[in-house]
Amino acid sequence: MRAERISAAEPVSALRHVKILECGEELVDFLALCPGLLVDRPRFKYRRETLLRRTVAEKLCEAERNLPEGYRFLIVEGWRPPHIQRRMYRAVWDMIAARRPGLSETSLKRIVNRYSAPMNVRVPPPHTTGAAIDLMLADSEGRELDLTSPFDPFDPHSASFDSHGLSDGARRHRDIMAAALTAAGLTNYPSEYWHWSYGDQGWAYRGGHPHAIYGAIEPPGYSPNPEDDIDAPLARID
């Protein structure tokens, strides 16, 4: 039983106390392992990869089978390379700063870190470990279902899994998604309804596990897309 109180924001200051005992498991193509999965539309402009740690991909396949008839998963992203993570962090920083002018840098950093993980050697961002998945729910034809109404999908008020004020339909769809993923052994980062993981520091922290089993990883022979490997913030696709 966990003695200390945990934070829904899972701050770096807490996660850095979670040890990583890297198990050495490889990254695999989750679409090859589970062809029933669908790739969702991009949110930012860059080349996405279809990679996850093998056990995480297997759990995602199990979760897909757990869905009631008529539902499918839309996968936004699994493994993310460090150069993209850095650019995404800058994009989120700029977006929050524009929405909340006047915030101190300390306050702004605290909010940004809730929605995008900073690069940190002791606390590698979850997607860079191959342990995390961002996903949505779709109908049998692959059409994305409502998970945020009455809020805009990019409205921070809709981000937390237990957001107040959601429509009955959005709440029902989140519950369907969560039931399938939880039964497969994946756990949710509570500040983002779309973010689920297994084996990383967040999973260990929220589940009271003694250590994480996945640290940062890159696939053998990986070469970034030169057009993506730049310093500018990611460009959002509306």
* pLDDT, greater one: 210 or 5: 210
Quickly state the pLDDT bin for 2 (edges 50, 70, 90).
very low
| CATH match for 12-207 among 3.90.1150.10, 3.30.1380.10, 3.40.50.2020, 3.10.580.10 | 3.30.1380.10
Kindly tell me if the per-residue pLDDT of 3 is higher than 50.
Answer: no
Q: What are the pLDDT digits (tens) for 207-237?
A: 999 999 999 999 999 999 999 999 999 999 8
Q: What are the pLDDT digits (tens) for 24-37?
A: 999 999 999 999 99
Q: What are the pLDDT digits (tens) for 160-195?
A: 999 999 999 999 999 999 999 999 999 999 999 999
Q: What are the pLDDT digits (tens) for 83-139?
A: 999 999 999 999 999 999 999 999 999 999 999 999 999 999 999 999 999 999 999
**What's this model's pTM, rounded to 2 decimal places?**
0.95
Exposure string over 199-223, b if 16+ CB within 10 A, otherwise e: bbbbbbbbeeeeebbbbbbeeeeee
> How many CA atoms does the CB half-sphere of 88 hold within 13 Å?
25
Residue 93: enclosing H or E segment and its boundaries? helix 82-99
State the Cα–Cα distance between residues 132 and 46, nearest whole angstrom. Answer: 18
**How much is the pLDDT for 27?**
98
Kindly tell me if the per-residue pLDDT of 1 is higher than 70.
Answer: no
Kindly tell me if the per-residue pLDDT of 238 is higher than 80.
Answer: no
From the list 82, 79, 204, 83, the residue with the least C-alpha distance to 130 is 79
Quickly state the pLDDT bin for 6 (edges 50, 70, 90).
confident
